Amino acid sequence: MLQRLKYFVINNGPLLTTISVFVLVYFVGTRLYPAMQKPQVFFNLFINTASLMIVSIGMTLVIISKGIDLSVAGMIALTTAASAALLDKGVGPAVVMPLMLLMGIAFGFTLGCIIHFFKVEPFIVTLMGLFFARGMAYIITLEALPIQNEFYRFLALTKVYIPFLDNVYVYIPSLVGPLLLLVTIYLSYFTRFGRTVYAIGNNEQSALLMGLRVGRTKIAVYTFSGFCSALAGVVWSVSLLSGYGGYAPGMELDAIASVVIGGTLLTGGVGNVIGTLFGVLINGTIVSILQFNGTLSSWWTRIGVGVLTLIFIGIQSLFYMRKKHS
């Protein structure tokens, strides 16, 4: 029994640590600021981190496959700017939303093909993708474009009340992340695609020798990340009812930090999207604590997330070494 418990802790140590840290950080917040004890404050985390959660889910699969995607923030900005511009020209949401998702899919597919067929480092390819997408967004508009569309306003302002909780709600865009999380859990654990992603991250050459479709899977991972980025951009434009090329500055780094805090190894092959969810919530909790304080600079969020990321990299290394020796 003790041996099984030890094996469970070693195998799930980073995830258990992430969940424990989230509970601890949130508990400290409620002690410092009693207003954080309200259920609505907890669900506000899902409202405030809606886009970050989506891009972090896509980033998780990329990092598990031993890659990186720095283009996500640029795609969010491009999606918001393009959406606002098209809606301003009278194009309907039924055309704009699918078109933005297709754009993200095509963008991610292109990056994946360049990485796979030309053997260029993902860091370089996706960094160029970031510059390209952000530049295109600024070409579309140099200032924030308001979105007046009634359907967008309906999505942005409609409250979805949480059952069994009195007057506690989220907005429709906040539901996209949790739904995508469930889909990604299924893809990761119950499909050949998910198993291949982990195999590539562990050892790409071994995956090739096993006859796995390495190239197709790597391209699919970046395609999925592009889809997630565009979806996050749609959610962002709905939430803020505007589009602008300067939106989501540095979100690619926030997503990477959330994934690492969630227990995913940057060296690939280890991690899960459940941990990423709690990594995102830790990020959101730190922001909430600073907002309740009201006197500290928002840059303390960056400092806190940076320190936690460094700590979690150390924790991951510790558990990984223990696992190798067990």
Span of 33-37, 209-213, 263-267 with lowest mean pLDDT: 263-267
Average pLDDT of 122-133? 98
Amino acid at 247: Y
Q: Is the pLDDT of residue 297 over 80?
A: no
Of 152, 159, 158, nearest to 43 by C-alpha is: 159
3-state class of 296 per DSSP? Answer: coil
Tell me what percent of the residues of the chain surpass a pLDDT of 90.
81
Q: What is the pLDDT of residue 10?
A: 62
Provide the residue ranges of all domains of the chain, joining segments of one domain with +. 47-247
Q: What is the pLDDT of residue 201?
A: 96
Higher local confidence (pLDDT), 14 or 156:
156
Q: Is the pLDDT of residue 319 over 80?
A: no
Q: Which residues contact 12 (CB under 8 A, 6 or more apart)?
A: none
Average pLDDT of 314-323? 71
**Band of pLDDT at residue 172, cut at 50, 70 and 90:** very high
Q: Which residues contact 141 (CB under 8 A, 6 or more apart)?
A: 81, 84, 85, 243, 244, 245
**Band of pLDDT at residue 302, cut at 50, 70 and 90:** confident
**Band of pLDDT at residue 326, cut at 50, 70 and 90:** low
Give the integer Cα–Cα distance in Å for 322 and 326: 6
In the predicted model, what is the mean pLDDT of the chain? Answer: 93
Of 50, 8, 24, 77, nearest to 308 by C-alpha is: 24
Q: Is the pLDDT of residue 102 over 70?
A: yes
Q: What does the angle CA 32 – CA 34 – CA 39 come to, to the nearest 5 degrees?
A: 125
**Band of pLDDT at residue 17, cut at 50, 70 and 90:** confident
Tell me what percent of the residues of the chain surpass a pLDDT of 70.
94
Answer for the pair 263, 15: CB distance below 8 angstroms, yes or no: yes
Of 221, 324, 201, 285, nearest to 316 by C-alpha is: 324
Q: Is the pLDDT of residue 43 over 90?
A: yes
Q: Is the pLDDT of residue 308 over 90?
A: no
Average pLDDT of 64-88? 98
Q: Is the pLDDT of residue 322 over 70?
A: no
pLDDT in tens, 180-218: 999 999 999 999 999 999 999 999 999 999 999 999 999
Q: What is the pLDDT of residue 325?
A: 61
Give the integer Cα–Cα distance in Å for 136 and 50: 24
Give the integer Cα–Cα distance in Å for 249 and 240: 15
